[in-house]
Amino acid sequence: MHDAHHAEPTGFLSRVVFSRDHKVIAKQFLLLGLLFLGLGGVLALLIRWQLAFPGKPVPIVGQYLFSATAGAISPEGYTMLFTMHGTIMIFFAITPMLIGAFGNLCIPLMIGARDMAFPFLNMLSFWVAAASGVVLAGSFFVEGGAAMAGWTAYPPLSGATATPGLGQTLWAVSLFLGGVSTLMGAINYVTTILMLRAPGMGFFRMPLSVWGLGLAAVLNILFVPVIAAALLMLILDRVANTGFFVSGAQPGSAGDPLLFQHLFWIFGHPEVYILILPAWGIVSDLLAVFSRKPAFGFKATAIAMSSIVVLSTVVYGHHMYTVGLSPGLGKAFMSLTMLISIPSSVLFLNWLGTIWRGSIRLEPAMLFALGVVFVFGMGGLTGLFLGAITTDIYLHDTAFVVGHFHYTMAASVLFGSLAAIYFWFPKMFGRMLCPELARLHFWFTFLPLNLVFFPMLIEGYGGMPRRLYEPTSYKYLVQFQPVNQLITFAAMVLGLAQLIFVWNVARSLWAGERAPANPWEATTLEWLTPSPPPHENFDVIPDVHRGPHEHSRPDVPDRDWIGQWESQAPETPLTPPAPPSDSEAVAV
Amino acid sequence: MQAEATIDSLPVPHAHSEPSAGKVGMWIFLVTDALSFGGLLIGYASLRSWSPTWPVPSSVLDIPLTALNTFVLICSSVSMVLAVSAAETGDRKSVIRWLGATVAGGLCFLSIQAYEYHHLISGGLSLSSSLFGATFFTLTGFHGAHVASGVLYLSTLLCGVLAGKFVGHGDSHIEIAGLFWHFVDLIWILIFTFVYLV
């Protein structure tokens, strides 16, 4: 630990590549996440092609990707596609974007620190993540192709007998490395939040984004090591024939495939919250900023998020209702799962309370934040059916599950990330994005996205299994073929719409309008410092005088916000008090 | 110009009662690391309890030898404590002596473990011979990797001390390394109990 000022590095390598500056590392993570988001999106479109037009050659790219089968997707290829799509999206797209990029950007800036507590570890965290991404992307090119056991990699499917290729081993190695990177980040985040808050920045003055990111880091610290242990055992099973998860690997041995499922979901369920907590926090802050109101029930939101963290550690069994879990245990897991709906409802109520009668500014970031409120509502409500044993047994492993978790993960977390990008892009890069293009991007994302995931709920209710290669091979599923094609067309529109975003970002980086320090008239500390912030963020570490969402205070004249760093309302020219009659009557 | 400004938000890492960021970070890392051992131990417990055949550990493993090894590791923890307190009082000579003793203890532990592995492997026990072998080598190997990293970590500090760093009131480098070393020791007690004795 060095507590002295560091001179700004000058070389290209130390400034751009091996930078220890949290803002640069944030950009690196953002780039990594967006690249993998693109790759994962392409894989999704290939999956959708097979479901809409089973066995037909994929247009344009098929002849290059699937030359052995004349452009059509083989069953093995399809299995690989959905395995890698899930893995990439969860661990290499939304994790780097939300936690890597915005964790790094927001935490030091929002709590008034000069950098993370351990800048070197922070740099290492990114480069290990990059290495893990290279291993995963490289696994496409080894003999036998990439992993094929589903993103959950249940043994014996992920064992050496079922998937003998190197790809599955590289998958496990890559996830192990990703876990190491995540842990380095999480240790850094929690230490930074505990130790480096500016004077006056009590826990209940921290913005909710920091709450969400910090709580996600706590969950990472507790549960990533468990999946790391499971992955270590899986790797040993594959390369040293240890037989932890495969029964009868040695004569008389009783390796246990269910053990992997337990270890996987002990981590896997908190992982869902690891991803959604930062999104919740960011949305809570953004709704307040763009409704020009304090966040409704600020403390209740923070406490609800914390209690979800606690509850999320004891509900993992709801992923395993159909594996032959003892019914008593299943009921316990069901009751605990249902308890989560209480703090979730608190969050939801508080969001609605925040926007209720606010002076809403429909900036692009706000549109995406409102989008999260809607799609997370959909994800949460459909989750109830999967948390209850009786309905889950019917819906398990159907497209309903796919629709549900895409509403929570793909839709909520992705919208949260996009809201964050639109909100903090001016701070990160010092340039404004074009709001018209951004609104176009929102509507061409929001509408097709619902057309993609809502019909999946219906198909699943109709009994369509997930991970199905050839839907028309079952007579009762033929009727869903038009629906499958509708989803695929909507997915194509959704994919193409992202080009608007890419164009907007490229145009802005090249020729965007320069961003002022505080373009959104927000109140948290990152808006005090110039855009982009200088090396070490602040000239002088600010004193924090108030909570994070002080909008529309009646005692602050002339403007509807007062920054956390302002001890009192700024001096304003004498203005005659507004006539008290008409405007209020309108408001009531 | 920059040297004049200070970071008033940073706690001054002077007294041992006041946690520095480094110490907090190490504690958090230890929580994480404990849970990674936790994952392996859950696996071990579950596999062993469902297994129809599990040898009595003492019939396969050399308990007296490993008891001696456990004693060596505990002694190295004692020398670590002495190194930490010497570092606090600024007694450089003692720091070098006790840190050196700790590194030697770690190396001795690893050597005895290597001898034990050699003996067991030539007796037919391996990662793939049985679940007993798989869990044994995974758990003790993962722990051994921790001891090896600890030896490297402490050796690096020892080089620093020889170069005139890390000693004196207010420097918590050695204390933080001590946390890690005691943790590795504590985990060994658990592994020795569950894998060798029970």
B45 in reach of chain A (CB within 8 A):
no
Q: Which residues of A touch B187 (CB under 8 A)?
A: none
In tens, the pLDDT along B79-88 reads 999 999 999 8
Three-class SS state of A463: coil
Q: Determine which of A64-73, A77-86, A305-314 has the lowest per-residue pLDDT on average.
A: A64-73
pLDDT of residue A255: 86
Query: Measured between alpha carbons, how far is B180 from B27 in angstroms, rounded to an integer?
Result: 9
Residue A6 resides in a domain: no
What is the distance in angstroms between the Cα of A2 and the nearest Cα belonging to chain B? 10
Residue A1 belongs to some domain of the structure? no
Band of the pLDDT at A125, cuts 50, 70, 90?
A: very high
CA distance A570 to chain B (A): 25
Question: Rounded to whole angstroms, how far apart are CA atoms A345 and A308?
Answer: 11
Contact assessment for residue A497 and residue A448, using Cβ atoms and an 8 Å cutoff: yes
Q: Is A213 within the bounds of a domain?
A: yes
A343 in any annotated domain: yes
User: Do residue A242 and residue B3 have CB atoms under 8 angstroms apart?
Assistant: no
In this predicted structure, what is the pLDDT of residue A587?
41
User: Is residue A582 scored above 60 in pLDDT?
Assistant: no
**B35 touching chain A per CB within 8 A:** yes
Question: Which DSSP category does A434 fall into?
Answer: P
User: For residue A28, is pLDDT > 80?
Assistant: yes
Residue A26's closest CA among A350, A278, A254, A344?
Answer: A278
Closest CA in chain A for residue B128:
A242
Which residues 137-196 in chain A show a CB within 8 A of chain B? 183, 186-188, 190-192, 194-196
CB contact under 8 A, B11 and A262: no
Amino acid identity, position A285: D
Burial A24-57 (b: 16+ CB within 10 A, else e): bbbbbbbebbbebbebbbbbbbbbbbbbbbbeee
Domain assignment present for A494? yes
The domain in which residue A520 lies consists of 12-246+253-587
In a domain, A382, yes or no: yes
- Which residues have C-beta within 8 Å of that of residue A251, sequence separation ≥ 6? none
Contacts of A471-474 spanning 24+ positions with Cβ under 8 A? A471/A51, A471/A54, A472/A54
> In this predicted structure, what is the pLDDT of residue B166?
87
Say which CATH number the domain at A204 has. Answer: 1.20.210.10
CA A234 → CA A178, A221, A227, A342, B51, distances in Å?
Answer: 15, 21, 10, 37, 19
Residue A424, pLDDT score: 97
Q: Which of B6, B9, B136 to mutate to test the interface with A (most CBs of A within 10 A)?
A: B9
Which residues does chain B have within 8 Å of residue A1's beta carbon, measured at their own beta carbons? 13, 20-22
Residue A170 makes CB contacts below 8 A (sequence gap 6+) with: A135, A136, A138, A139, A142, A146, A147
**Residues B33-39, mean pLDDT to the nearest whole number:** 96
**Please, which residues 81-140 of chain A have a Cβ atom closer than 8 Å to chain B?**
112-114, 117-118, 121
A274 in contact with B, Cβ within 8 Å: no
Residue A134 located in a structural domain:
yes
Distance of alpha carbon A410 from alpha carbon A379, whole angstroms: 10
Q: Searching chain A, which residue's CA lies closest to the CA of residue B38?
A: A226
Number of domains in chain A: 1
Is B29 an interface residue toward A (CB < 8 Å)?
yes
Give the residue-averaged pLDDT of B43-51: 91
Residue A7 lies in a domain: no
Work out the pLDDT band at B171, boundaries 50, 70, 90.
confident
pLDDT at residue A83 greater than cutoff 70: yes
Global pTM?
0.92
Cβ separation A190–B28 shorter than 8 A:
yes
Is the Cα torsion angle B154, B159, B162, B167 positive or negative in sign?
A: negative
Contacts of A266 in chain B (CB under 8 A): 39
Q: Hey, which residues 532-571 in chain A have their CB within 8 Å of chain B?
A: 540-541
Whether A191 and B21 lie within 8 Å, measured CB to CB:
yes
Domains and CATH numbers, chain B: 62-198 (1.20.120.80)
Q: Are A530 and A517 in contact (CB under 8 A)?
A: yes
A246 touches chain B (CB under 8 A): no
